[in-house]
Amino acid sequence: MKTIDKRKEKAERRAVWLRNYQRARGRALTKLAQQYPDQYKDILEQERLSDEANGKTWLDITGATSINSSLGVLTDRNNDTSRSEQANGDKQNEGNVGGEG
pLDDT tens, residue by residue, 84-93? 555 545 444 4
Distance of alpha carbon 17 from alpha carbon 45, whole angstroms: 30
> Which residues, at least 6 apart from 51, have a Cβ–Cβ distance to it below 8 Å?
57, 58
Does the pLDDT of residue 83 top 60, yes or no? Answer: no
- Give the span between the Cα atoms of 37 and 71, in whole angstroms: 12
* Residue-level pLDDT at 54: 92
Altogether, the residues listed in the chain come to a count of: 101
Q: Could you tell me which residue, 100 or 55, shows the higher pLDDT?
A: 55
Q: What is the pLDDT of residue 63?
A: 63
The answer to whether residues 72 and 34 touch, using CB atoms and an 8 Å cutoff, is no
Higher pLDDT, 62 or 35: 35
- Is the pTM for the entire model greater than 0.85? no
